[in-house]
Structure 1
Amino acid sequence: MTDMGLMSYFLGIKVLRKDDEIFISQMKYANDILKKFQMEHSKPVLTPVEEKFKLLGEDKGRTVNPTYYKILIGSLRYLTATRPDIVFGVRLLSRFMEEPCTNHLQTAKRILRYIKGTLNDGIYYQNTNEINLVGYTNSDWAEDIETRKSISGFVFHLGSIVISWSSKK
């Protein structure tokens, strides 16, 4: 979407409106996060989390500063308002807020590297005559190593608009 439309900000979320299109993003906030955690010059990666990646509470790394980790995860949580592509990884890392290890921090920094390569991403809405309700769902069927619980998720579209999404244990 071009910047020729009406632009406004709400709680740091940029909203661009043009004709029958709306694009919401947090590019400035994402850049601020990268600077805050000294990742603005990092090498981008293609995915926020490695495929089939597993994290344990008692990981083999040494513990890291929980306050630093909580600030990082909290910053990523706010970014999920316009970035559903990072929800799974942020949810996974949120489980380790009390005793984070180096592997947890490395995984959080991978999400930052992913954000670095996808700064222009957000949520795009387009008015269309197509009003089909389409839903997708998935589950990993008891893949959590510690609890043997499943992680499931869904996304629903109404036309081209994402109206609901979730990922939870």
Structure 2
Amino acid sequence: MSMLEELHFFLGLEVKQLPKGIFIEQSKYISDIFKKFNFPKMKISPTPMSINISLHADLDGQPFDQMPYRSLIGSLMYLTASRPDIIFAVCLCAQFQVNPRYSHYKAIMRIFSYLKGTPNLRLWYPFGTGFNLIAFTDADHGGD
């Protein structure tokens, strides 16, 4: 790749190389998703998921067609490569691909309304700095 020229776009990821570091984003992919699904004008949401939401099987709720639901989930899953802020919400909605309900579709639309307001969020990898990864989990691997 170095023989061709500097990397700018690769598999839907936009790469911007600056002297101080590298930015990775998917704003073009987000705009393509909005065009593909022909989303109407929607309100911008400050978060990808409501704090009080409790998604469950909702077997009494109105059914939603599997094909568009799975297509929406697939598009969102690809976005998680550069958008760690939506991973939890997307994975929670992905659990209901077999038997989606309208309540699950509404949760997906909340994620898209969040993306509508934050299309230019990106990952920043600065040059010349140490990288310390700190992670937390509530999993009990010793008890398993």
Aligned length: 134
Match of 2:107? 107
With CA pairs under 8 Å and 6+ residues apart, which has the higher RCO, 1 or 2? 2
Q: How does 1:12-161 map to 2 (within 5 A)?
A: 12-39=12-39, 41-129=41-129, 131=130, 133-139=132-138
Q: What is the Cα deviation at residue 53 of structure 1?
A: 1.8
| Deviation beyond 6 Å, 4+ runs, structure 1 | none
Change (3 A) 1:62 1:16: same
Change (3 A) 1:29 1:63: same
* Contact 1:15/1:25 (8 A) holds in 2: yes
CA deviation map 1:27-63 (0-9, x unaligned): 0110111222233621110000111421111354211
Partners of 1:25 and 1:132 lie apart in 2 by 20
* Contact 1:26/1:79 (8 A) holds in 2: yes
Root-mean-square deviation (CA, aligned residues, Å) is 1.8
- TM-score w.r.t. the length of structure 1 is 0.73
Unaligned runs of 5+ in 2: 1-5, 140-144
Partners of 1:49 and 1:31 lie apart in 2 by 20
Q: What is the Cα deviation at residue 76 of structure 1?
A: 0.3
Partners of 1:59 and 1:48 lie apart in 2 by 24
- Say which SS state the counterpart of residue 134 (structure 2) adopts: strand
Q: What is the Cα deviation at residue 20 of structure 1?
A: 2.1
Unaligned runs of 5+ in 1: 1-5, 140-149, 151-169
Identity %: 36
Q: What is the Cα deviation at residue 133 of structure 1?
A: 2.0
Higher helix proportion (structure 1 or 2): 2
- TM-score w.r.t. the length of structure 2 is 0.85
